[in-house]
A = this chain, B = another copy of it.
Amino acid sequence: MIRRGFQVAARLGHHRGLLGDPLILIFPAQFSRFLPEKTDLKDDALPDASWCLDMLSLDQEFLEKTKSSGWIKLPSFKGKTQPNGAVSGPCPPFSGCDTAHLSPDKGDCRIFTRCIQVEGQGFEYVIFFQPSKKKSVCLFQPGPYLEGPPGFTHGGSLAAMMDETFSKTAFLAGEGLFTLSFNIRFKNLIPMSSLVVMDIEVEKIEDQKLYMSCIAHSRDQQFTPTHPSLAGVFLQLQLEEESPQ
């Protein structure tokens, strides 16, 4: 499914870059990283040697659900997005992107939650989406490079993982594109490299906004790193299909 980036940009006058330029051309790339389209790029949401047993078996459970219960496994790529929708290449030369002081070999981009390339050290995760129920499950195993208090995961890394899952869910459930707000109420620290399961649901869609909740818990639901009142609100955009050329 391809959409008109320019049409979207025209409706986003209040979402502008640092220099006030409209966000032209960025949306096709956004879609390409959200949707389970075919690509030659390596999907990083596949099991590797760092995944713990709980993560492996839950991943398998949800893969079974993709065959029978309408769930979709979302692919995830480490990186490098381009305005033309490809997911490789150097950092795009947006006018607001102040990279003139960086050397050319440092101009590559990576999706933040795939910024660490060593297996098991950073964000290990896979997201499954259920379209008819407008909900997602993210299996997240935070590695030792995401440390906050010694031995435990940084609260900011949990926030980042939630924002990424919120954003994918918001787009797929109702074309929500931008995080307008989110809040987190922490309850327990998360030991690094343990498994966090995040259940995200769209609670309501109203006035072009999606209201979403997230409950984070351990596999057995005995441990909850946050209170269940998390909420992400996404701006919904009714995009038009691109006309055939």
Contact = CB atoms under 8 A, between A and B. Distances in A.
A115 interface: yes
Contacts of A159: 156, 159-160, 163, 182
A186 interface: yes
Given A83-B151, A151-B26, A156-B156, A98 B52 contact: yes
A112 B182 contact: no
Given A23-B189, A155-B179, 11 more contacts: A112-B156, A113-B154, A115-B122, A148-B167, A154-B160, A154-B163, A155-B163, A156-B162, A160-B160, A182-B184, A183-B184
B178 A50 contact: no
A99 interface: yes
Which among A92, A103, A106, A164 has the greatest number of chain B C-beta atoms within 10 A?
A: A106
Given A23-B149, A106-B121, A160-B160, A185 B189 contact: no
**Which 4 A-B pairs rank lowest in CB-CB distance, beginning with the nearest?**
A156-B160, A183-B183, A96-B191, A112-B154
A91 B187 CA distance: 23
A190 to B, nearest CB: 7
A148 B114 CA distance: 11
Nearest to A96: B191
Contact of A109 (B147, B184, B186): B147
Interface in A79-120: 79, 81-83, 91-92, 94, 96-99, 101-103, 106-113, 115-116, 118-120
7 contacts: A18-B223, A83-B151, A97-B191, A102-B120, A106-B118, A112-B157, A159-B163
User: Which of A14, A17, A49, A195 has the largest number of chain B CB atoms within 10 A?
Assistant: A17
Q: Taking each of A119, A120, A144, which has the highest tally of chain B beta carbons within 10 Å of its own beta carbon? A: A144
Contacts of A119: 106
A183 B186 contact: no
A225 to B, nearest CB: 9
